[in-house]
Every structure is written in C-alpha cells, then in structure tokens.
C-alpha cells in the first residue's frame, strides 16, 4: 500500500518540480522582469523573510474564514433539519437554495463591510452567507438519501420520526454533509479574501494581495497566494480526513476517493 | 408546477422578512434624521415609513431596490455611464468571452488527460488540488501583469473569468469522459475500435451530462471572476465597478441594484445552459 501510494505521488511531484524548474530557468534565461513574473526562488526568499507579515495576515483572515464557515455551515444544517418535516417548505426553499448557490454571492461583500465594519466580522458574514446554501441543499438531499426498504424497516420497528432521523437518515446524510463541508472550505476562504478587497484594517491576505499587486510587489503577492493555497488545501484535507474517520462504514469510500484522485 | 405555490410562499416570506429587517435596521438612522431636522414628535407610522424610504439606508427596502432597478435599467439610456445595462453588458461580455475560452481550454485539457496516461498521473492531482485553492486571490495580480503588456479593458477580466471557469470544466469533463463502464469499453475493444473512435462514439456522448453540469458551474464561476476582476480594476466599468463605487460613496441602493443585475445575469446564463442541456439530452435519449 505504502509503495503503491508513493508510486502515485511520484509523477505529480516530478511534474510540479519540472514546472518550477522551467519557470525558474525561463525567467532567468529570458530576463523576464520581476514585475511580470518573479522566479520561484525569489518567491521562496520572500516567503522566508516575511514570516511575521504573513503570520499576521493569516491570523486576521483565518478568523473570518473559520467563524463564517462554522456559522454558515451550522445554520444551513439546522435549517435543513428543521424544514425536513415540511414538504411544503422543502418544495419552496429547495429551488431557491439551488438558484442562490449559482449566484455571485461574493457581491454582498461591500454590504457586509458596511454593516459589520472593516474587521474580520464582515468577512465572516460573507463567508457565512456563501456557505449556508450549499450546506442547506446538500443536507436536505442527504436526508432523502435512504431508500424505501430502509425506511420501511424503521417503520416496522415503529421508530418515531426523531428516531428515524437519528438512526437512519442523519447517518445516511453524512456523505452529503461532508461534501458540503469540503466545498465550503474553499467558499469561505474565497468569501473572506474577496471581502478584504472592499476594506480591511490594513492586515489580511486579501488586503495584502490587492495592495501589493497595485504596488507591483509581485513576489509578495505570490507568497501570499501560496499561503492562501496552503490554507485552502489544509482545511479541505482536514475535513476529508475527518470524513474518513467519521464515515468509515461507507463501503465504497476507499475506492471512490482513489478514483477521484486518479 | 406543484411547487409554484410553495416557492411563491417562500418568496413572499423573504420579502416580508426583508421589510421588517429594513424597518428595524434603518430605524435608528431615521430617528437621528428626525432629531437633526428638529422634529421631536413623530408617530411610529412616520418612523416606519421614513425608515423604508431613506436615501442612504443601511438596508434598502425591496421597493426601493425595485424602483432603482427600474430607473437604472429601463429609464436610463443604455449609453449612460449610470445605466446598469451599460455596465451589465460589459460584465456579460467579459463573462462570455472568459467562459468560452475557459471551457474550451478545460475540455481540451480533459481530452489530453483522458488520452495520455502520463499527463493524467502527473497533472490530474494538481488540477484536483486546485479546486481547494481560492484561485480568485490571483485576480488582482493577473490584472496587473496583463496591464504590464498594455492589455487593458475587458481582456484582463475575461482572462480571469476564463481562468476561474477552466478548472471545474477540466475536472468535470475528465469525470465525464471516464464515465463509461468497463463493459462498454470492452465492447469497443471487441469491435477493434481505435482510440479516436472509442472517444468519439463512446466517451464523448457519455460525457454529455457532465458537460452541461460543468458548463453551469463554469458560467457561474466566470461571472464571479468577471465581477471580482472589475472590483480590482474599476476604471473600465462593469457591475463589479458599480459595487465598489457604491461602497465608496455609501450608495446602498445602488449596490443592491447592481447585485440584483449580476444575480439575474448568472441565473439567466445557468438557466439557459440548463434548457439547452435538457433539449440535448432528450434528443440523445439519455432519459431512458
């Protein structure tokens, strides 16, 4: 297994290194000015020398991300469970939820900055709104996932509604919920970063990216982007790890993830 | 059609909540306004009516947004820089150009990945990982870099729109081209079909449902890319520029109006793709 995993990791790593090498060599050979494309080595240097700035920016942005992620996902989940009993509300809310998921919600950023100020609270608000609808839609879909046979079994046990919810439908919804949780990590990060384009106390990853880009300090922007990428991947894979721990019973799990990664 | 009533109910409920929220959120501003104008005595009714019709409310009431939308979409000539049609067309152009380029590149790369094993093994993990990265963070930088090459106007925004729609299309189409099951692939092999034939006769049609799903995501992503790009470089107009201008000058009604136009554009694009997809799938008799 470990050797197989290593064999799977080798090609992408080689590919990544090749891209970096070509990038570095190309920039040096053709004397590409740093204001167009800094070489990876310069970005790495910048990353190493500006740890305090990066840490402060990360610290600022991650608050909005995590708070918004938690609030939005939790609210979406709670509302989904609440409207679960009402076919009427579901039929009304689901099309709207699906519609809103396709809308450019980041656009509410300037409104949230007006309502909640420049600090991380407004970023959390944007992230919360962005993460709410995917969670709502996915949870409702997940609660509908169990088949007729399983439901009939619960009925033959004379299980009450809440019991069916707890023992059958919530566990069955977990894959869907985790799907939304994974999707939401990226959405929350995007929401927080874009909201910072509209106003921040002068710290934060989105703030740094937009100001340093306009000052043509591209190595800082690249370093900051790399930080954002690492943060996004860490959140995503953290949730993916949790998913594997929590839904270990899912038979197809191992094979599907491997298929997805392939 | 049986969901028409529930949807109407929910929409009405949202409007009602919106009105209540607007009255509550603007009340304190309106009280200050009364106090400043020396009007010490006012009825609750006056307060509510005032709160719902402020010039710069915290939350504009639905009818204010509606009348602003009407004013800026229909009553203003589309050539005017205040018209939302003017800015909407700019955003739509960027979105469509970016969407076309991004999806074409995404599909092309998906074809390469499915047909070349080394590309698949070395590149696909990066593409999948890119889904977890807030790539929109690169938008300001792309604008600046293209600016260095004197590429301005709608091109940089279209580039960002393309870039945002590219990754989901690649991932979706690789999944789609891989969706035929081994039995069907084996059948093609027993026909001694060439790789190109297998692709054209089996993989490509099998990818159709994924194609339309990816196109929907790509269109929505392209619009977000265009709007955010306009925020980072707002001189050339566009709905994102209106959002930014509105937030600079505290013109909340204008922000909401621009937001609604952006939402309508996105919904229209996604809806259109959905309709095309349904027609295509009926023609291809997928719904068997």
Residues A144-161 have pLDDT tens digits of 888 888 888 988 998 888
Is A220 within 8 Å of A50 (Cβ atoms)?
yes
pLDDT greater than 60 at residue A257: no
Instruction: Convert A75-90 to b/e letters by CB count within 10 Å (16 or more is b).
Output: bbbebbbebbeeeebb
Is B89 within 8 Å of B236 (Cβ atoms)?
no
* pLDDT band for position A85 (cuts 50, 70, 90): confident
Nearest chain A residue to B240 by CA distance is: A107
A116 interfacial to chain B (CB closer than 8 Å): no
* pLDDT band for position B146 (cuts 50, 70, 90): confident
Pairwise CB contact (< 8 Å): B137 & A209: yes
A238 interfacial to chain B (CB closer than 8 Å): no
What CA–CA distance (Å, rounded) separates A124 from A114?
A: 13
What CA–CA distance (Å, rounded) separates A2 from B47?
A: 70
- Identify the CA nearest to B198 among candidates B190, B131, A242: B190
Residues B187-224: tens digit of each pLDDT: 999 999 888 898 888 998 888 888 988 999 899 999 98
Question: Which pLDDT belongs to residue A42?
Answer: 86
What CA–CA distance (Å, rounded) separates A174 from B93?
A: 40
Pairwise CB contact (< 8 Å): A216 & B232: no
What ipTM, to 2 d.p.?
A: 0.82
A67 interfacial to chain B (CB closer than 8 Å): no
Those residues whose C-beta lies under 8 Å from the C-beta of residue B249, and which sit 6 or more positions away, are none
Is A261 within 8 Å of B128 (Cβ atoms)?
yes
Q: For chain A, positions 19-48, list CB contacts with chain B under 8 A.
A: 35-37
* pLDDT band for position B103 (cuts 50, 70, 90): very high
Nearest chain A residue to B145 by CA distance is: A36
Distance from CA of B101 to the nearest CA of A (A): 20
A225 interfacial to chain B (CB closer than 8 Å): yes
Question: Which pLDDT belongs to residue B286?
Answer: 55
pLDDT greater than 90 at residue A78: yes
* pLDDT band for position B47 (cuts 50, 70, 90): confident
Nearest chain A residue to B247 by CA distance is: A110
Smallest Cβ–Cβ distance between B228 and the set A99, A194, A224 belongs to: A194
A92 interfacial to chain B (CB closer than 8 Å): yes
A224 interfacial to chain B (CB closer than 8 Å): yes
Pairwise CB contact (< 8 Å): A95 & B120: no
Pairwise CB contact (< 8 Å): A186 & B121: no
Distance from CA of B43 to the nearest CA of A (A): 27
Pairwise CB contact (< 8 Å): A185 & B132: yes
What CA–CA distance (Å, rounded) separates A218 from B143?
A: 12
Nearest chain A residue to B219 by CA distance is: A102
- Between the CA of residue B126 and those of A11, A105, A109, B110, what are the distances in Å? 11, 27, 30, 13
Predicted structure pTM score: 0.85
A190 interfacial to chain B (CB closer than 8 Å): yes
Residues A22-73: tens digit of each pLDDT: 988 888 888 888 777 888 888 888 888 888 888 999 999 999 999 999 999 9
B220 contact residues in A (CB cutoff 8 A):
102-104
A110 contact residues in B (CB cutoff 8 A):
243-244, 246-247, 255
Instruction: Convert B16-43 to b/e letters by CB count within 10 Å (16 or more is b).
Output: eeebeebbeebbeebeebbeeeeeeeee
A205 contact residues in B (CB cutoff 8 A):
137
Question: Which pLDDT belongs to residue A258?
Answer: 43
Question: Which pLDDT belongs to residue A261?
Answer: 40
Smallest Cβ–Cβ distance between B224 and the set A104, A111, A206 belongs to: A104
Question: Which pLDDT belongs to residue A256?
Answer: 46
């Amino acid at each position: 297994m470990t050797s197989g995993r290593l064999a799977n990791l080798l090609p992408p790593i080689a590919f990544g290194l090749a891209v970096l090498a070509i990038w570095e060599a190309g920039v040096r050979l053709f004397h590409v000015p740093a204001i167009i494309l800094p070489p990876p080595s310069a970005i790495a240097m910048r990353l190493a020398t500006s740890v305090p700035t990066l840490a402060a920016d990360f610290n600022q942005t991650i608050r909005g991300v995590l708070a918004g992620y938690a609030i939005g996902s939790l609210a979406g989940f709670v509302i989904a469970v609440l409207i679960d009993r009402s076919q009427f509300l579901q039929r009304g809310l689901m099309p709207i939820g699906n519609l809103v998921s396709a809308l450019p919600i980041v656009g509410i950023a300037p409104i949230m900055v007006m309502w909640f100020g420049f600090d991380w609270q407004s970023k959390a608000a944007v992230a919360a709104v962005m993460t709410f609808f995917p969670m709502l839609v996915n949870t409702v879909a997940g609660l509908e996932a169990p088949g007729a046979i399983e439901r009939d079994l619960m009925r033959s046990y004379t299980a009450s509604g809440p019991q069916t919810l707890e023992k059958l439908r919530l566990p069955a919804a977990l894959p869907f919920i985790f799907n939304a949780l994974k999707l939401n990590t990226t959405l929350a990060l995007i929401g927080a970063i874009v909201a910072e384009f509209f106003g921040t106390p002068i710290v934060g990853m989105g703030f740094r990216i937009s100001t340093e880009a306009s000052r043509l300090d591209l190595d800082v922007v690249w370093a900051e982007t790399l930080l954002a990428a690492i943060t996004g991947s860490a959140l995503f894979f953290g949730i993916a790890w949790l998913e594997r721990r929590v839904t270990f019973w899912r038979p197809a799990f191992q094979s599907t993830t491997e298929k997805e990664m392939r | 059609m049986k969901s028409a009533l529930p949807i109407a109910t929910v929409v009405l409920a949202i409007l009602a909540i919106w009105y209540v929220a607007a009255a509550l959120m603007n009340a304190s501003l309106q009280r200050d306004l009364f106090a400043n104008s020396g009007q010490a005595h006012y009825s609750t009714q006056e307060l509510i009516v005032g709160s719902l019709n402020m010039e710069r409310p915290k939350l504009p009431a639905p009818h204010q947004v509606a009348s602003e939308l009407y004013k800026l979409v229909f009553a203003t000539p589309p050539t005017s820089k205040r018209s939302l049609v003017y800015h909407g067309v700019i955003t739509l152009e960027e979105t469509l150009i970016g969407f076309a380029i991004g999806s074409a590149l995404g599909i092309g790369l998906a074809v390469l990945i499915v047909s070349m094993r080394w590309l698949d093994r070395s590149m696909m993990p990066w593409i999948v990982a890119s889904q977890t990265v807030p790539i929109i963070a690169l938008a300001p930088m792309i604008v600046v870099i293209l600016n260095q090459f004197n590429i301005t106007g709608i091109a940089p925004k279209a580039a960002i729109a393309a870039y945002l729609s590219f990754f989901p299309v690649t991932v979706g189409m690789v999944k789609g081209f891989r969706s035929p099951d081994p039995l069907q692939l084996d059948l093609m092999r027993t026909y001694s079909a060439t790789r190109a034939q297998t692709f054209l006769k089996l993989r490509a049609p099998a990818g159709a449902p994924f194609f339309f799903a990816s196109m929907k995501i790509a269109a929505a992503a392209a619009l977000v890319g265009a709007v955010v790009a306009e925020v980072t470089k707002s001189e050339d107009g566009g709905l994102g520029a209106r959002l930014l201008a509105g937030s600079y000058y505290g013109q909340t009604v204008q922000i909401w109006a621009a937001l609604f136009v952006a939402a309508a554009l996105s919904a229209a694009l996604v809806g259109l793709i959905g309709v095309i997809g349904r027609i295509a799938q009926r023609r291809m008799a997928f719904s068997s």
